[in-house]
A and B are shown apart, each in its own frame.
Chain A
Amino acid sequence: GESVGLHLPTLSVQEGDNSIINCAYSNSASDYFIWYKQESGKGPQFIIDIRSNMDKRQGQRVTVLLNKTVKHLSLQIAATQPGDSAVYFCAENRAQGGGSQGNLIFGKGTKLSVKP
């Protein structure tokens, strides 16, 4: 059948504002979550990760929140800058048999546009 492009959710923010990007994950067994940023023509770039024994983790200008009850993940970017414009992906990983598998399950992505 015909391939249809993914309709990426888009978030447009003013430079200097805070951005919140949301993600719903699929498997309650997932215990490791990562946010990646992908700029046009580049591979995904690691931003921040969080394990399921945590609810919140902070990095430089970024915070990830994990709500296991509703299987929801969010990425908060403080003082958003034009250089933050990119597609943001959440990814989940689940351990199997005591070890983890090297595969990530990616969300569809959110396109963040920052207006100067």
Chain B
Amino acid sequence: NFMLTQPHSVSESPGKTVTISCTGSSGSIASNYVQWYQQRPGSAPTTVIFEDNQRPSGVPDRFFGSIDSSSNSASLTISGLKTEDEADYYCQSFDSSDRGVFGGGTRLTVL
């Protein structure tokens, strides 16, 4: 089964840059696009990156998505951290049977 693995938590200070990784268990992570979702407590997730590195309208350009085929991983980088960025972040893709797959989620703390 295809799985996506994320760090459980990351923390960084306001104004700094943080990167959250998402590593594929098998095959090539580049085979299907990766999305990133932000989820604040008590709310549904919202999209911050789609198709590996595209930002929906309204998402600031401080959010950057990338793929590294050599490490079979995707990354979400957030620069100029703000306290409002504190949330859970999930990567998501699909397996070879078109079944959705989420990473375990990463809690970002901005302190």
A and B: bona fide binding partners: no
Binding site for A on B (CB under 8 A): none
Binding site for B on A (CB under 8 A): none
